[in-house]
A and B are shown apart, each in its own frame.
Chain A
């Protein structure tokens, strides 16, 4: 039995197979954001009530920025949590802003009505805001500190407790080391 040859074969093929097996342990679609600890890109958004809002208007407050769409199941799953978190935090120096992506006005407004959402919401008309923030799966949530820097990003549905915890950190200017993950829907 040519053991040496078999050993050489195993030594070459083995690591390749192990590498492929490693592939199962990670999510191939996940893209780490380079925006954490950087200044949030300014944008102007038209809110559903007709007003125009820019990111600069929110300077001095901690901002919870949430990208969503009415056709995305994880967004539906987190909607009540977000509204609950807002109710608890609305008297503090914090702002919740929701941005609807790739959605129609009618569907978006129906979504907001269904979940009794009271915080500010607008629509990303040209898709430019989503591109600037590198959204690749919704819902995506960004936490911005009062100076305008992104302290935390969470891809996927987020629970109320985490929202409140991360916003407290953002208010203090603490940048998170790692991104968070939840259930998400990739966008096309």
Chain B
């Protein structure tokens, strides 16, 4: 019954989406106001129906209704309730439903919030949303149906993939999907602006908050993914340049560029074509990402099972790309007029360079991701492209980006005079250089890390210096102390100070990446009972193995005493989990974090014959915790950017 309810809701929602697509075309010919309402109601209708379908599937999962094939394949009776809920996005069909649900929630909110504004654009915004929604509903309804029934009803289900039985399963996919889907909002407005011919700043001002929110979720989703990889997967790394990881990261690059580049259009009416292209590319990459994961054309540990779905996604991607860029070409004459760049040393050129660097990074990562396909198509040679390529091309680009992060927010608009530059940058630059020399004197001798840390310090110092100057001015003018002054400054210029905090967060993340990439230590050994392993300032002693039966698996834990600089830090117990349906065990590494470094223990193996022996791999990774701290700082900064702070709130038009 649930299956029928869910499937019917999806089909009805599909019909509602078709109405949504047709509505502006009808509105253009007949009485606009009534058909604008029809457009809105089609979105609300889709929202209600999709929510009903999602609720039905969640109910089926929680109640372990094994008549539904999806439930039978993704849960067992023994699966805890919270993992049954995450089963909603654990496999292909359910994940598409999640995507559609989040999409229609965004569409619903947009349709409601702007119901009395943007009269000319809104029907087209609704149409774009409905096109995307219709596509996903079509795939869910006709090709990849989560409500497919199975007969005879099995007694027990197959269960969630053991690797997915982790707390991060509750946060990583929803966060990432919200980020992807969130980019549909600025995209829809951009397309509506092109269709209607209103390509000035209105659509950008309206969608600013939406873009920041989508960007934030995309950042958070990627970071939680990195955390999951580090914390759970047990190889001591947080990013493998796996094709699907790249697919999640690639939309982030043009989204970040877009976020910054729109400022130039808002202030100077420049870079219009850049901005439209960036949001088209960002949205297309979200479709590309979901295509890559579901088509089977590139092998990846993240890939869902492939099916006929892949071909349809490719078709939709083609439609989106050709349609959007076609529209852009059609309106190109309207976009041509713009002021000239006054000077190469200005905020505009810094932001333009920002665009170029981020797009270059995108290009190199995209090339690396599809290169196996390219090489086989052109030369018949099978290659795989891994970390060495990606690291070598992205590191220089990102280092330059750090430099831009320091210069961009502070440098003057139009033309920065030599005086400007000296006043804003001389002190921070000197301070950063001194820090760099200090690091060199201490023990960091390699070029790239020193350059990286110096640039990061430069960013931090420019922010601190500029804020300090502003606080000094507040003190002089209004007698405000530091806290009061910061509050006033932030209230008066949310975007600037929120942006500063986000940049500081990014610097912390890059600090963590630089430290762990350049100075990690690694060692592996087979230890007998009470035997020691020495690595860096740590001495690890093997204390014994312990086996225990858990609800879903059998667990073998190794107890290792960690002694750091002579201090006994206690016992750490990495484990191997043996699941009945898996042939090889799933590792569960453990780590202890401190501000300076992480000590990371992996139980590689043990002998079934000799209980007093274990193979241990130890990693010492400096500064990793700053990546997660940086994530929280970014979250805080984003909140500052978007929370309404003024007492008299102006609306967003």
Contacts and interface: CB of A to CB of B under 8 A. Distances in A.
A17 B314 contact: yes
Interface in B553-576: none
Contacts of A16: 370
A179 B382 CA distance: 14
Contacts of A31: 382
Nearest to A31: B382
Query: How many B residues are at the interface, by size bracket?
Result: 20 to 34
A19 B374 contact: yes
B379 interface: no
Interface in B289-336: 291, 295-299, 310-311, 314, 317-318, 321-322, 325-326, 329-330, 332-333
A50 interface: no
A131 interface: no
Interface stretch (A21-29, A84-92, A141-149): A21-29
Contacts of A5: 329, 332
Given A9-B322, A32-B382, A22 B310 contact: no
B41 to A, nearest CB: 35
Interface in A1-46: 1-2, 5-6, 9-10, 13, 16-17, 19-24, 26, 28-32
Contacts of A30: 382
A13 to B, nearest CB: 5
A30 B374 CA distance: 15
A21 B296 CA distance: 11
A9 B584 CA distance: 48
A134 B382 CA distance: 15
B583 A102 contact: yes
Interface in B437-459: none
B584 A188 contact: yes
A158 to B, nearest CB: 22
Contacts of A26: 297, 376
A187 B582 CA distance: 10
B322 A19 contact: no
A135 B302 CA distance: 21
A71 interface: yes
B326 A23 contact: no
B421 interface: no
Given A20-B297, A23-B298, A6 B326 contact: yes
Given A13-B325, A26-B297, 10 more contacts: A6-B326, A13-B322, A16-B370, A20-B314, A21-B314, A24-B310, A28-B372, A31-B382, A32-B382, A188-B584
Give the 8 A-B residue pairs with the shortest CB-CB distance, closest first. Answer: A23-B297, A5-B329, A28-B299, A102-B583, A9-B325, A29-B299, A22-B377, A13-B321
Interface of B: 291, 295-299, 310-311, 314, 317-318, 321-322, 325-326, 329-330, 332-333, 370, 372-374, 376-377, 382, 582-584
14 contacts: A2-B330, A2-B332, A13-B318, A13-B322, A19-B370, A19-B373, A20-B295, A20-B370, A22-B377, A24-B296, A26-B376, A28-B299, A28-B372, A29-B299
